[in-house]
Chain A
Amino acid sequence: MDKNMPYTNNFLKGLTSLTGIPIKKIQEYAKENNPFNILEHPKVIEPNEKQLQKIGLLNEFIASYNLLKVHESENKIKFSSPKEAADYFIPLLSGIKDKEKFMVAFLDNGNNIIQTKIMSEGNIAQAVIYPRDILKEALACDCKAMILAHNHPGGSNSPSNEDKALTQKLVNIFHPLDIKIHDHIIVAGVNFCSMAEKGYMPQAINELASYEPIKIENKNILEENQSFNSQLDEELEL
Protein backbone atom coordinates (compact mmCIF):
# COMPACT_ATOMS: atom_id res chain seq x y z
CA MET A 1 0.00 0.00 0.00
CA ASP A 2 0.97 3.65 -0.40
CA LYS A 3 3.38 4.50 2.42
CA ASN A 4 2.13 8.08 2.43
CA MET A 5 -1.38 7.14 3.48
CA PRO A 6 -2.57 9.68 6.04
CA TYR A 7 -2.94 7.39 8.97
CA THR A 8 -0.83 6.57 11.92
CA ASN A 9 -0.47 3.68 14.26
CA ASN A 10 -2.78 5.64 16.53
CA PHE A 11 -5.61 4.96 14.12
CA LEU A 12 -4.92 1.21 14.23
CA LYS A 13 -4.67 1.24 18.02
CA GLY A 14 -7.87 3.29 18.28
CA LEU A 15 -9.68 0.84 16.05
CA THR A 16 -8.54 -2.09 18.17
CA SER A 17 -9.47 -0.39 21.40
CA LEU A 18 -12.98 0.53 20.24
CA THR A 19 -13.95 -2.53 18.21
CA GLY A 20 -12.06 -5.32 19.94
CA ILE A 21 -10.49 -6.46 16.65
CA PRO A 22 -6.97 -7.73 17.51
CA ILE A 23 -4.22 -5.26 16.61
CA LYS A 24 -2.20 -7.95 14.83
CA LYS A 25 -5.10 -8.63 12.48
CA ILE A 26 -5.47 -4.93 11.69
CA GLN A 27 -1.72 -4.43 11.26
CA GLU A 28 -1.55 -7.44 8.97
CA TYR A 29 -4.33 -6.03 6.81
CA ALA A 30 -2.76 -2.55 6.83
CA LYS A 31 0.54 -3.92 5.50
CA GLU A 32 -0.94 -4.29 2.04
CA ASN A 33 -4.15 -2.29 2.21
CA ASN A 34 -5.59 1.01 3.25
CA PRO A 35 -6.86 0.47 6.83
CA PHE A 36 -9.70 2.95 6.27
CA ASN A 37 -11.25 0.14 4.19
CA ILE A 38 -11.99 -1.62 7.46
CA LEU A 39 -14.56 1.05 8.28
CA GLU A 40 -16.08 1.15 4.82
CA HIS A 41 -15.94 -2.59 4.11
CA PRO A 42 -15.66 -4.25 7.53
CA LYS A 43 -16.01 -7.77 6.16
CA VAL A 44 -12.52 -7.55 4.67
CA ILE A 45 -11.21 -8.26 8.14
CA GLU A 46 -13.73 -10.98 8.96
CA PRO A 47 -15.02 -9.47 12.20
CA ASN A 48 -17.28 -11.34 14.59
CA GLU A 49 -20.81 -10.07 15.23
CA LYS A 50 -19.87 -7.79 18.11
CA GLN A 51 -16.91 -6.32 16.26
CA LEU A 52 -19.11 -5.71 13.23
CA GLN A 53 -21.68 -3.96 15.38
CA LYS A 54 -18.95 -1.75 16.89
CA ILE A 55 -17.67 -0.79 13.43
CA GLY A 56 -21.24 0.15 12.50
CA LEU A 57 -21.53 2.34 15.59
CA LEU A 58 -18.16 3.91 14.86
CA ASN A 59 -19.26 4.75 11.31
CA GLU A 60 -22.49 6.27 12.62
CA PHE A 61 -20.53 8.29 15.16
CA ILE A 62 -18.08 9.60 12.54
CA ALA A 63 -20.94 10.65 10.24
CA SER A 64 -22.84 12.40 13.06
CA TYR A 65 -19.70 14.05 14.39
CA ASN A 66 -18.79 15.47 10.98
CA LEU A 67 -22.30 16.78 10.45
CA LEU A 68 -22.58 18.38 13.88
CA LYS A 69 -19.11 19.85 13.63
CA VAL A 70 -20.05 21.63 10.41
CA HIS A 71 -23.25 22.95 12.01
CA GLU A 72 -21.36 24.10 15.07
CA SER A 73 -18.71 25.94 13.09
CA GLU A 74 -21.38 27.61 10.91
CA ASN A 75 -23.22 28.76 14.01
CA LYS A 76 -20.30 29.95 16.10
CA ILE A 77 -20.68 33.44 17.42
CA LYS A 78 -17.53 35.36 16.72
CA PHE A 79 -16.64 38.87 17.82
CA SER A 80 -14.61 40.88 15.33
CA SER A 81 -15.45 44.36 16.56
CA PRO A 82 -16.87 46.22 19.58
CA LYS A 83 -20.07 46.76 17.58
CA GLU A 84 -20.51 42.99 17.17
CA ALA A 85 -19.95 42.47 20.89
CA ALA A 86 -22.47 45.21 21.66
CA ASP A 87 -25.00 43.71 19.24
CA TYR A 88 -24.67 40.46 21.18
CA PHE A 89 -24.96 41.94 24.67
CA ILE A 90 -27.63 44.61 24.08
CA PRO A 91 -30.51 42.10 23.74
CA LEU A 92 -29.27 40.31 26.85
CA LEU A 93 -28.97 43.42 29.01
CA SER A 94 -31.06 46.22 27.59
CA GLY A 95 -34.43 45.22 29.00
CA ILE A 96 -33.23 45.05 32.59
CA LYS A 97 -34.33 48.17 34.44
CA ASP A 98 -34.52 46.87 38.00
CA LYS A 99 -31.00 45.60 38.59
CA GLU A 100 -27.41 45.67 37.47
CA LYS A 101 -26.33 42.50 35.72
CA PHE A 102 -22.70 41.70 34.98
CA MET A 103 -21.91 39.19 32.23
CA VAL A 104 -18.75 37.72 30.76
CA ALA A 105 -18.28 36.13 27.33
CA PHE A 106 -15.39 33.66 27.44
CA LEU A 107 -13.67 33.39 24.05
CA ASP A 108 -11.32 30.99 22.30
CA ASN A 109 -8.24 31.92 20.24
CA GLY A 110 -10.40 32.93 17.28
CA ASN A 111 -12.65 35.14 19.46
CA ASN A 112 -15.48 32.65 19.15
CA ILE A 113 -17.70 32.41 22.20
CA ILE A 114 -17.04 29.32 24.27
CA GLN A 115 -19.64 30.31 26.83
CA THR A 116 -21.35 33.37 28.26
CA LYS A 117 -22.16 33.56 31.95
CA ILE A 118 -24.00 35.94 34.23
CA MET A 119 -21.38 36.60 36.89
CA SER A 120 -23.37 38.93 39.12
CA GLU A 121 -26.87 40.27 39.56
CA GLY A 122 -27.31 43.14 41.97
CA ASN A 123 -30.04 45.66 42.64
CA ILE A 124 -30.92 48.78 40.70
CA ALA A 125 -27.95 50.74 41.99
CA GLN A 126 -25.17 48.23 42.54
CA ALA A 127 -23.77 44.76 41.98
CA VAL A 128 -20.96 42.81 43.58
CA ILE A 129 -18.49 41.00 41.33
CA TYR A 130 -16.53 38.04 42.66
CA PRO A 131 -13.26 37.78 40.67
CA ARG A 132 -12.67 34.24 41.96
CA ASP A 133 -15.86 33.06 40.26
CA ILE A 134 -14.80 34.63 36.95
CA LEU A 135 -11.36 33.05 37.28
CA LYS A 136 -12.92 29.66 38.00
CA GLU A 137 -15.11 29.86 34.87
CA ALA A 138 -12.25 31.13 32.70
CA LEU A 139 -9.96 28.27 33.69
CA ALA A 140 -12.70 25.66 33.41
CA CYS A 141 -13.42 26.55 29.77
CA ASP A 142 -9.76 27.24 28.92
CA CYS A 143 -10.60 30.59 27.35
CA LYS A 144 -7.99 32.80 25.73
CA ALA A 145 -9.88 36.07 26.01
CA MET A 146 -12.97 37.62 27.56
CA ILE A 147 -15.41 40.43 26.95
CA LEU A 148 -17.10 41.98 29.96
CA ALA A 149 -20.51 43.60 29.85
CA HIS A 150 -22.96 45.10 32.28
CA ASN A 151 -26.01 47.30 32.18
CA HIS A 152 -26.65 50.72 33.67
CA PRO A 153 -30.32 50.70 34.66
CA GLY A 154 -30.05 54.48 35.22
CA GLY A 155 -29.70 55.17 31.52
CA SER A 156 -26.19 56.64 31.26
CA ASN A 157 -23.93 54.59 29.02
CA SER A 158 -20.72 56.34 30.13
CA PRO A 159 -18.38 54.08 32.07
CA SER A 160 -18.03 55.31 35.65
CA ASN A 161 -14.70 55.50 37.46
CA GLU A 162 -15.77 52.33 39.26
CA ASP A 163 -16.38 50.57 35.95
CA LYS A 164 -12.86 51.55 34.87
CA ALA A 165 -11.40 50.43 38.21
CA LEU A 166 -13.24 47.11 37.97
CA THR A 167 -11.86 46.53 34.48
CA GLN A 168 -8.34 47.32 35.68
CA LYS A 169 -8.70 44.91 38.63
CA LEU A 170 -9.77 42.11 36.30
CA VAL A 171 -6.90 42.91 33.91
CA ASN A 172 -4.57 42.66 36.92
CA ILE A 173 -5.85 39.13 37.48
CA PHE A 174 -6.04 37.86 33.90
CA HIS A 175 -3.15 39.60 32.14
CA PRO A 176 -0.50 37.48 33.93
CA LEU A 177 -2.44 34.35 32.87
CA ASP A 178 -2.32 35.40 29.19
CA ILE A 179 -6.08 35.82 29.11
CA LYS A 180 -6.90 39.06 27.36
CA ILE A 181 -9.83 41.25 28.27
CA HIS A 182 -10.74 42.73 24.90
CA ASP A 183 -13.52 45.03 25.94
CA HIS A 184 -16.03 46.08 28.56
CA ILE A 185 -19.40 46.94 27.07
CA ILE A 186 -21.73 49.20 29.07
CA VAL A 187 -25.34 48.82 28.02
CA ALA A 188 -27.91 51.51 28.80
CA GLY A 189 -31.24 50.80 27.17
CA VAL A 190 -30.48 50.29 23.51
CA ASN A 191 -27.34 52.40 23.68
CA PHE A 192 -23.91 51.14 24.53
CA CYS A 193 -20.39 52.25 25.20
CA SER A 194 -17.39 50.14 24.32
CA MET A 195 -14.50 50.92 26.64
CA ALA A 196 -12.11 49.57 23.99
CA GLU A 197 -13.52 51.94 21.39
CA LYS A 198 -13.16 54.87 23.80
CA GLY A 199 -9.58 53.89 24.61
CA TYR A 200 -10.38 53.15 28.27
CA MET A 201 -9.17 49.53 28.28
CA PRO A 202 -6.13 49.00 30.50
CA GLN A 203 -3.20 47.63 28.52
CA ALA A 204 -1.19 46.31 31.46
CA ILE A 205 -1.43 45.53 35.14
CA ASN A 206 -1.06 48.44 37.55
CA GLU A 207 -0.83 46.43 40.76
CA LEU A 208 -0.82 42.87 42.03
CA ALA A 209 -3.96 40.85 41.48
CA SER A 210 -6.58 41.13 44.20
CA TYR A 211 -9.41 38.63 44.48
CA GLU A 212 -11.54 40.65 46.89
CA PRO A 213 -15.18 41.11 45.81
CA ILE A 214 -15.65 44.30 43.78
CA LYS A 215 -18.71 46.49 44.19
CA ILE A 216 -19.90 48.53 41.24
CA GLU A 217 -22.38 51.28 42.07
CA ASN A 218 -24.54 53.38 39.85
CA LYS A 219 -23.81 56.73 41.54
CA ASN A 220 -26.51 58.63 39.61
CA ILE A 221 -29.22 56.40 40.98
CA LEU A 222 -27.76 56.43 44.50
CA GLU A 223 -27.63 60.22 44.46
CA GLU A 224 -31.16 60.46 43.07
CA ASN A 225 -32.35 58.10 45.81
CA GLN A 226 -30.55 60.08 48.49
CA SER A 227 -31.98 63.36 47.23
CA PHE A 228 -35.45 61.85 47.00
CA ASN A 229 -35.15 60.43 50.52
CA SER A 230 -33.93 63.67 52.00
CA GLN A 231 -36.76 65.54 50.26
CA LEU A 232 -39.20 63.00 51.68
CA ASP A 233 -37.68 63.38 55.16
CA GLU A 234 -38.04 67.14 54.96
CA GLU A 235 -41.67 66.86 53.89
CA LEU A 236 -42.39 64.40 56.71
CA GLU A 237 -40.78 66.73 59.25
CA LEU A 238 -43.06 69.53 58.09
Chain B
Amino acid sequence: MNKNKGINRDNYKYISSLIAQLLELDIDTEEKITGYIENYGVDNFLKDYDKMELSYEIYEKLESLGMIIENMGGAV
Protein backbone atom coordinates (compact mmCIF):
# COMPACT_ATOMS: atom_id res chain seq x y z
CA MET B 1 0.00 0.00 0.00
CA ASN B 2 1.30 3.38 -0.86
CA LYS B 3 0.71 5.95 1.84
CA ASN B 4 2.85 8.67 0.32
CA LYS B 5 1.10 11.89 1.18
CA GLY B 6 3.46 14.20 -0.71
CA ILE B 7 3.03 12.31 -3.96
CA ASN B 8 -0.13 12.33 -6.00
CA ARG B 9 -1.27 10.12 -8.85
CA ASP B 10 -0.17 12.66 -11.43
CA ASN B 11 3.46 12.33 -10.30
CA TYR B 12 3.26 8.60 -10.85
CA LYS B 13 1.42 8.96 -14.15
CA TYR B 14 4.10 11.36 -15.32
CA ILE B 15 7.01 9.08 -14.48
CA SER B 16 5.15 6.16 -15.98
CA SER B 17 4.63 8.11 -19.22
CA LEU B 18 8.36 8.90 -19.30
CA ILE B 19 9.13 5.18 -18.97
CA ALA B 20 6.61 4.42 -21.73
CA GLN B 21 8.15 6.96 -24.13
CA LEU B 22 11.69 5.90 -23.32
CA LEU B 23 11.00 2.21 -23.69
CA GLU B 24 8.43 2.66 -26.48
CA LEU B 25 5.71 0.77 -24.63
CA ASP B 26 2.11 0.22 -25.69
CA ILE B 27 -0.71 1.81 -23.71
CA ASP B 28 -1.70 -1.43 -21.91
CA THR B 29 1.82 -1.95 -20.58
CA GLU B 30 2.02 1.71 -19.56
CA GLU B 31 -1.22 1.36 -17.57
CA LYS B 32 0.04 -1.83 -15.97
CA ILE B 33 3.23 -0.08 -14.89
CA THR B 34 1.30 2.97 -13.65
CA GLY B 35 -0.88 0.68 -11.51
CA TYR B 36 2.16 -1.05 -10.06
CA ILE B 37 3.94 2.21 -9.28
CA GLU B 38 0.80 3.66 -7.67
CA ASN B 39 0.58 0.64 -5.39
CA TYR B 40 4.20 -0.03 -4.54
CA GLY B 41 6.10 3.16 -5.40
CA VAL B 42 8.66 3.86 -8.10
CA ASP B 43 11.58 2.62 -6.02
CA ASN B 44 9.95 -0.77 -5.49
CA PHE B 45 9.00 -0.86 -9.17
CA LEU B 46 12.63 -0.67 -10.28
CA LYS B 47 13.55 -3.34 -7.75
CA ASP B 48 10.69 -5.69 -8.49
CA TYR B 49 9.59 -5.21 -12.12
CA ASP B 50 10.55 -8.84 -12.73
CA LYS B 51 7.48 -9.79 -10.70
CA MET B 52 5.25 -8.22 -13.32
CA GLU B 53 4.28 -10.22 -16.34
CA LEU B 54 6.11 -8.26 -19.00
CA SER B 55 7.69 -9.35 -22.26
CA TYR B 56 11.39 -10.25 -22.28
CA GLU B 57 12.10 -7.24 -24.50
CA ILE B 58 10.56 -4.83 -21.97
CA TYR B 59 12.27 -6.65 -19.13
CA GLU B 60 15.64 -6.10 -20.83
CA LYS B 61 14.96 -2.39 -21.33
CA LEU B 62 13.94 -2.01 -17.69
CA GLU B 63 17.14 -3.76 -16.73
CA SER B 64 19.04 -1.12 -18.72
CA LEU B 65 17.13 1.63 -16.94
CA GLY B 66 17.97 0.05 -13.60
CA MET B 67 21.67 -0.11 -14.54
CA ILE B 68 21.74 3.56 -15.43
CA ILE B 69 19.99 4.60 -12.21
CA GLU B 70 22.35 2.40 -10.21
CA ASN B 71 25.38 3.97 -11.85
CA MET B 72 24.00 7.45 -11.33
CA GLY B 73 24.07 6.79 -7.60
CA GLY B 74 20.54 5.54 -6.96
CA ALA B 75 20.63 2.16 -5.24
CA VAL B 76 18.28 -0.12 -7.15
Q: Chain A residues in contact with chain B, CB under 8 A? A: 6-8, 10-11, 13-15, 17-18, 36, 54, 57-58, 60-62, 64-66, 68-69, 71-75, 77, 113-117, 140-142
Give the CA-CA distance A117 to B51 in the complex, in Å: 19
Contact check: which of A14, A75, A117 meets B67 at CB < 8 Å? A14
Interface residue from B6, B51, B66, B70 paired with A140 (Cβ < 8 Å): B51
CB of A71 within 8 A of CB of B6, answer yes
Q: B23, B48, B60, B68: which contacts A11 (Cβ < 8 A)?
A: B68
Chain B residues closer than 8 Å to A69, beta-carbon distance: 42-43, 74
Whether A62 and B68, one on each chain, are in contact in the complex, defined by CB atoms closer than 8 angstroms, is yes
- Assess A68 versus B15: contact at CB under 8 Å? Given A61-B65, A74-B6, A114-B44: yes
Which 4 pairs between the two chains have the least Cβ-Cβ distance? A14-B64, A11-B71, A14-B67, A17-B64
Q: State which residues 26-73 of B face A: CB under 8 Å.
A: 39-44, 46, 48, 51, 60-61, 63-73
Could you tell me if A113 and B1 are in contact, using CB atoms closer than 8 angstroms? yes
Which label, helix, strand, loop or mixed, suits the secondary structure of the B interface? helix
Residue B5 at the chain A interface, CB threshold 8 Å: yes
Q: Which residues of A contact B1 (CB under 8 A)?
A: 113-117
The answer on a CB contact under 8 Å between B7 and A61 is no
- A11, A68, A141, most chain B CB atoms within 10 A: A68
Q: Are B43 and A73 in contact (CB under 8 A)?
A: yes
A14-B65 contact given A68-B7, A72-B41, CB 8 Å threshold: yes
Does B18 lie within 8 Å of A17, measured CB to CB? no
Residues of B within 8 A of A115 (CB): 1, 39-40
**Min CB–CB distance B67 → chain A (angstroms):** 4
